[in-house]
Amino acid sequence: MTAINTPDWVKSAVFYQVFPDRFARGKQHQPPAGITFKDWGADPAEQGFQGGDLYGVAEHLDDIQALGVTALYLNPIFSSASNHRYHTFDYRQVDPLLGGDEALRFLLDEAHRRGMKVMLDGVFNHASRGFWAFHHILENGPESPYLDWFHIEDFPLNPYPKDSDEALNYRAWWDLPALPKFNTDNPGVREYLFSVAEQWIRFGIDGWRLDVPGDIDDDTFWQEFRRRVKGLNPDAYICGEIWGQAERWLQGDQFDAVMNYPMGTAALSYFGASTIREGYQQNEYDIAALDAEDFCTRIDTVQGWYHRDINAVQLNLIDSHDTPRAMWLVQENEAAVGLALSFLLLMPGAPCLYYGTEIGMSGGNDPDCRGAYPWDDPDQWKPAIGETFKAMAKIRQSEFFHTDAEVTLTALTNDVLLLERVSSKGRLVAFINRGQEATVSVPEHLNNLFALSETAEKSKHRLKDDIQLKKNATEVFVS
């Protein structure tokens, strides 16, 4: 195993995930002439483009930062014929509909000026039918010199089958004809993709989130990817989209971290147990009600999979563009979403807030989880989640929160958890109550810790033999 060396900045980071087409239209962006977008807030099931862009993200950085966010994760931004942009046809330019390279430059400069980082989504397993090398094969057939860039099985190619039963004659991701799979054994393909990764690191991005990296079943590809990226920026963050246990990629020579869905599903399953949509499953995203003991066991298991320096940079999330929104999964239980996010903010790793979750946006599977942010309709907002997130993020950024801490989780009752973070610099503890008002006994070793509050007089807010907890609340104390 290679020595584990993960970026320090991620250990205290709080991420915000943005789906660019649906976040905000920038006031300073002039789309190309003749462009017509769907109405903002149109039903996401209609697909299509609603006109969000990178200038819109930049113009709302103050709003995002006010939540306690320190880093952005952007869904794909390169030129594509799909609103989600996982169908890339030009990796060398930012989509003009998003404002082009100039908009990314503006966003990076504005984010970095605020001390915020920016991570892009890298889709390197597959391209699109419009990608130049695949188009070359469509035009030239077996005479194309780019034939070996993809997995071509027969001619003529049939990129637009008339029905779903019609067999493809080239390999594509999940057999979707719009997504031809790269042949990453080809040295030209490898060099092209590595150079794309390098190009945008040079441009100033702070990391890559890697789409379906397990489908490039080749450790040497990702080892070289890491060498090339880290050679330009040793602090760049490399996070893979692996939904389950991921030791193979987390040996110090490939990714820094993965998207930690197992922690997020456990949190929703426990804090939202009373309202959870039982039995929801997608990939390895499993939801089912948990009691306190099972929740603690599951979290201990997930934490036990990896080296502590990897746990410290895992991307911890409860929802994303690939899952139903958390509010939908717990049937609009705001308290459950707030508690689940509070838990992620207290745990090792980088919590990631999906755009709109802070105002209670809801929706089922893709495309319903990709609605437009209702900036002009604040009556739709449920601000309690955002306020809870903001308060806990402030604690996370305080001097009492130490990334080198040992963390333990204990069930005091079926509704009350004790989370302890202990380091050489002190102790931070949280009592998390998912139920009604409760009084619980305080373990003796925690007596005399004081409440972490700007307005509290420390001597009057010390832990005693027991503690009264409000309904659906988190109380934090420090030594």
Largest CA distance in the chain: 81
As beta bridge partners, residue 208 has 120, 238
- 241 classed as catalytic: yes
Q: Which helix (H) or strand (E) holds 94?
A: strand 88-94
Does 278 qualify as catalytic in the annotation? no
**Integer Cα distance of 383 and 376 in angstroms:** 15
Q: Which helix (H) or strand (E) holds 438?
A: strand 438-441
Pairing of strands 406-411, 450-451: unpaired
Exactly one of 121, 241, 322, 475 is catalytic; which is it?
A: 241
The answer to whether 350 and 14 have CB atoms below 8 angstroms apart is: yes
Q: Which of 211, 256, 358, 420 is catalytic?
A: 211
Terminal C-alpha separation, the chain: 37
**Residue 367 half-sphere exposure toward CB, CA atoms < 13 A:** 16
Contact 122, 194 (CB under 8 A): no
Place of tokens 């958390």: 326
Placement of tokens 């990178």 in the chain? 54
Pairwise CA distance, residues 88 & 458, whole Å:
55
Give CA–CA dist 25/76, Å, rounded: 17
Would you name the residues annotated as active-site residues? 211, 241
